[in-house]
A and B are shown apart, each in its own frame.
Chain A
C-alpha cells in the first residue's frame, strides 16, 4: 500500500479534460514538492510536472499540476490517444527521509 494514494484508473474521450488526484499527508505532500511522471509500457518514465506545477521543457501545456494542502492533482486537457499511459505522483516523505511514489493511475482514452 503506497504512502501516496491515487485512483487506480481514470478515463476520458478525446478532447476531454481529466484530472488525477494524489493524496498524502503533512509529512510528504503537505511539506514538500510534488512531481508527476508519465509511464508508457516498455519505455522509461517521463517527468511531466515538477515542483507542483512546473512543466519541463518539451511537455505540452495541456498538462498542468496543482497542490493544495496534503493533496495534489494532475490535469490533462484536450485529451489525446497518445496520453494513454500510467501516471505517478511522487514526493519527499519527511517521516521516511526518502521519496515515495503513488500507486499509479492507469489512464484510458476511450
Chain B
C-alpha cells in the first residue's frame, strides 16, 4: 500500500521560494494509473489543488499559481517535489501531497500534510 510523506521547511520568508518534497513508499512511482499531486489548505479555508505530474514528466498546474509553481518528479528517488516562488503570507497553508487516479482525477492516498508559514 502506497504511503506518502511530505518534507520541507516549516517557515519561509516572504519573496523567497518554497521547496517541498514528497517521498513515496510501498510501491512504484512508474505507473500509468496515477498522477502525483499537490494540494494545499490555508488556515480557515478550503482545499486548493496546486498541480499534478505524471511519472513521465507531463505536468499541469492550477492557472492561478502557474506562473510561480514548478512540480518535478524523480522516480529513482521515489520522490516528487514542489517549488513555489515569490512567496507571500497568502501562501501560508498546510501542503499535502497525494496520488491522483488518472481515470477519475480522485486523490486516493494522501500524505499527512506539512504546515508552511510565510513570515519574516
Contact = CB atoms under 8 A, between A and B. Distances in A.
Interface string A38-75: 01000111110011000010000000000000000000
Interface in B29-63: 39, 46-49, 51-52, 60-63
Interface stretch (A9-17, A18-26, A76-84, A98-106): A98-106
20 contacts: A33-B104, A33-B105, A35-B105, A35-B107, A37-B47, A45-B107, A46-B110, A50-B101, A50-B104, A51-B103, A51-B104, A51-B106, A88-B46, A90-B49, A90-B106, A91-B105, A96-B62, A97-B63, A101-B46, A101-B49
Nearest to A92: B105
Contact of B49 (A39, A98, A103, A104): A98
B108 interface: yes
B112 interface: yes
Contacts of A33: 104-106
Contacts of B49: 90, 98-101
Given A88-B47, A98-B63, A101-B49, A56 B105 contact: no
Contacts of B51: 98
A77 B63 CA distance: 37
A96 B103 CA distance: 18
A104 B41 CA distance: 11
Interface of A is mostly: strand
Interface residues of A, number: 28
Contacts of B60: 97-98
B107 A104 contact: no
User: Max chain A CB contacts within 10 Å: which of B48, B103, B104?
Assistant: B104
B63 A47 contact: no
Nearest to A8: B46
Interface in B100-120: 101, 103-108, 110-113
A56 B1 CA distance: 14
Contacts of B103: 51
Chain A to chain B: the 9 pairs with minimum beta-carbon distance, closest first: A50-B106, A44-B110, A99-B49, A35-B106, A104-B46, A51-B104, A101-B47, A33-B104, A98-B62
